[in-house]
Amino acid sequence: MPGDDDFELWLGRIGAKDRSVGQTLARARRAGGVASARGRRFTGAAIGRGAGVGRVLGASQRMTGLRARRVIVKARIVKLGGKGMAAAAHLRYLQRDGTTREGERGALYGADVDRVDGKAFLARGQGDRHQFRFIVAPEDGAEYDDLKPLVRRLMSQAEKDLGTRLDWVAVDHFNTGHPHSHVMLRGVDERGKDLVIARDYLTQGLRSRAEELVSLDLGPRTTHEIMAAQDREIGQERFTGIDRRLLREANGDRQLMVTTSDPREHALRIGRLRTLERLGLASEGKAGQWTLDPDLEPTLRQMGERGDIIRTLNRELREAGIARPPQDHALFDSGDPSAKPIIGRLVATGLSDEHRDRRYMIIDGIDGRSHYADIGEDQSVHAKGTILRLSPRPAEVRTVDRTVAAIASEHDGKYSVDIHLRHDPAMSESGAQAHVRRLEAMRRSIGRPERLADGTWQVGSDHLADALAHEQRQGLKAPVIIETLSHQPLEQLPAHDGETWLDRQLTAATPVPLQRGFGAEVRGAMQQRRQWLVDQQLAEGEEGVTRYRRNMLQLLQRRELDRVISGIEQDTGLAHRQPHADAPIEGVYRRAVQVGDRRYALIEHAQEFSLVPWRPVLERAVGKSVSGVMRGEGISWTIGTRARGLGIS
């Protein structure tokens, strides 16, 4: 999300707890600010509420011992804009089904009540500039029957540290191996002013407060707990605390000798080095000298992520009742230049990173493999069983960018709809408006080009480089293009009385290749569909060869459209009016209507209605007057009055 500030909070090395710790914590509780350190580079980390507390708690944390309970806190600042649709989507996902211990829907709670109205919380924050989001994950979260009291005490302590009442909601998740809580905090203080929290408090203070509370609740870690956690690290295929200690003691050439006098630590390090040796990330030389791989840390982090992906794939396929061998599991890497599109049915979607709202899809492909795909921040909703095509999003300059650059270069770096129409009389106004929308999207993404007060755009000589930068940024946010091939699941397609994806494959000059797994299921469905078409006299089969009527797809489309129109007439009492090319369309947009794999907009006018091609932007105009002209497959829409309306092609 552009403009977000992300903080990944991880635990550092912890020392022994002694009398000075209590003195330091006492000072932290009384702290109201810290004078700037002389000679220290300015970072802005101490600007905002909680600066002094965060600084002192961060220092005290380095003196706590191995027996202290550990908590991971992730903090994110999200800039809000528009109608807050992204915030609403995030809240809906946090409250999704299957997140409680009983597998029920997650319930929002607040400081004083166990059930909070999420819509009311979002409404209160409608005008907020930003929002804070936290994930609080105690290492020993499974020991808690209920995380609500812990979160409430933590947020109460945060109010004292920050010197203001806080407006927040939270939800607890128990659907992973590590119970955790999500907290959404409005970005305003008790007076309605912007709430600015010091980075020191976000990155250190809040975590330290959480660790204090968990240590009070559960007591210090026992020797058995500490040793068990350390032993688990020896064989893990991810970056661990032992790896961190090994890197810290290695020289500039990544070489080290295991010379610690602590027998326990010596055994841990040797055991871990043997695991790294097996993974090809460490090698033993003469006299017990070890050399670590230069890319040890990033490689182990990638291995950890891949392990998480494999576990996610196995879990989702198992829950869907789909059996695929491990060798048929695949990671769809949209960043790989050789990556090809994948086609298959949607098995599951979920959040790969709940903190950053990054999502994944599991696709059971027609190539016989099950694919895990990172789809970034894509917010589109697809039902399980939907047949999709996923393609890498290319980061390249578009024709519209070259057109804008060419026109601006001949008009003193200026671009507008009027300039475009004078430059190219053959261009339609709706076509020029599409160029303006592209410029507006670039401005929101990278801050360029500049829009002048009169609506004209100041386009730089490096506009094509800016366009490429915009595409690259969009590729990071949404690396995959998702195309719906069939809204209906495969089992409903063979006998569906309307055009289907199977029909398009049967009549295609080059149908997609079908292999094992889901591909074999599609092959069987196509055979059933072929027989259904013959029975409907839409095709003829003779000696193993099937001939389809030339207008078969159009006939199937018309059948289903007529059936849907008849149903709307019966439900509403309105008469259908067929829209015509180049004729004006006016009325009130009511809703989207799905007809097979096509979506139409229902436009109501007087005692009649029309179904016309739908566009996503129309969802902002439900119940509003719209007008436009139908040209081919598209419509140039105006929402509201023409003077103030929004033109959409």
Q: What is the pLDDT of residues 165-205, one digit of tens each?
A: 999 999 998 877 789 999 999 999 999 899 999 888 888 88
> Which segment of 75-89, 504-518, 567-581 scores lowest on mean pLDDT?
75-89
- Rounded distance between C-alpha atoms, residue 107 and residue 117, angstroms: 9
What's the rounded mean pLDDT across residues 431-449? Answer: 92
pLDDT higher for 284 or 39? 284
Closest CA to 110 of 180, 192, 181, 7: 181
What's the rounded mean pLDDT across residues 372-376? Answer: 93
Q: From residue 255, how far is each of 248, 250, 251, 263, 282 by CA, in Å?
A: 11, 5, 5, 21, 10
Angle formed at CA 350 by CA 348 and CA 356, multiple of 5 degrees: 160
β-strands 575-576, 608-613 pairing: parallel
Q: Tell me what pLDDT residue 321 has.
A: 92
Q: Are 130 and 79 in contact (CB under 8 A)?
A: yes
Q: What is the pLDDT of residues 56-90, one digit of tens each?
A: 565 555 545 677 788 999 999 988 876 667 788 78
What's the rounded mean pLDDT across residues 638-643? Answer: 55
Q: What is the pLDDT of residues 257-268, one digit of tens each?
A: 988 889 999 999
Q: Tell me what pLDDT residue 195 has.
A: 92
> Which segment of 32-36, 297-301, 567-571 scores lowest on mean pLDDT?
32-36
Closest CA to 170 of 135, 205, 124, 127: 135
Say which DSSP state 205 is in.
I
Residues 6+ apart with CB under 8 A from 604: 574, 587, 588, 590
CA dihedral 274, 279, 284, 289 (to 10 degrees): -80
Q: What is the pLDDT of residues 209-224, one digit of tens each?
A: 999 999 999 998 888 9
Checking if the pLDDT of 55 tops 70, the result is: no
Residues 6+ apart with CB under 8 A from 348: 316, 319, 320, 361, 362, 384
Checking if the pLDDT of 20 tops 70, the result is: no
Residue whose entry in the numeric block shows the structure tokens 């109201």: 32
Q: In which element (H, E) is residue 380 found?
A: none
Reported confidence tier of residue 273, pLDDT bands at 50, 70, 90: very high
Average pLDDT, the chain: 85
**Counts for the chain of helices (H) and strands (E), in that order:** 18, 26
Q: Tell me what pLDDT residue 89 has.
A: 78
- Rounded distance between C-alpha atoms, residue 455 and residue 432, angstroms: 13
Query: Sheet containing 450-451: which strands, arranged edge to edge?
Result: 414-415, 457-458, 450-451
Q: Tell me what pLDDT residue 65 has.
A: 64
Q: What is the pLDDT of residues 118-140, one digit of tens each?
A: 889 998 988 899 999 999 999 88
Q: What is the pLDDT of residues 385-419, one digit of tens each?
A: 999 999 999 889 999 999 999 999 999 999 999 99
Domain 5-218 indexed as CATH 3.30.930: yes
Tell me the whole-structure pTM to 2 decimals. 0.75
Residue whose entry in the numeric block shows the structure tokens 């309306």: 645
Checking if the pLDDT of 30 tops 60, the result is: no
Checking if the pLDDT of 346 tops 90, the result is: yes
CATH code linked to domain 226-294: 1.10.10
Q: Tell me what pLDDT residue 83 has.
A: 62
Residue 533 structure tokens: 């078409």
Angle formed at CA 473 by CA 187 and CA 619, multiple of 5 degrees: 65
Checking if the pLDDT of 104 tops 70, the result is: yes
Reported confidence tier of residue 632, pLDDT bands at 50, 70, 90: low
Q: What is the pLDDT of residues 308-343, one digit of tens each?
A: 899 889 989 998 999 888 899 999 988 888 889 999
Q: Are 603 and 590 in contact (CB under 8 A)?
A: yes
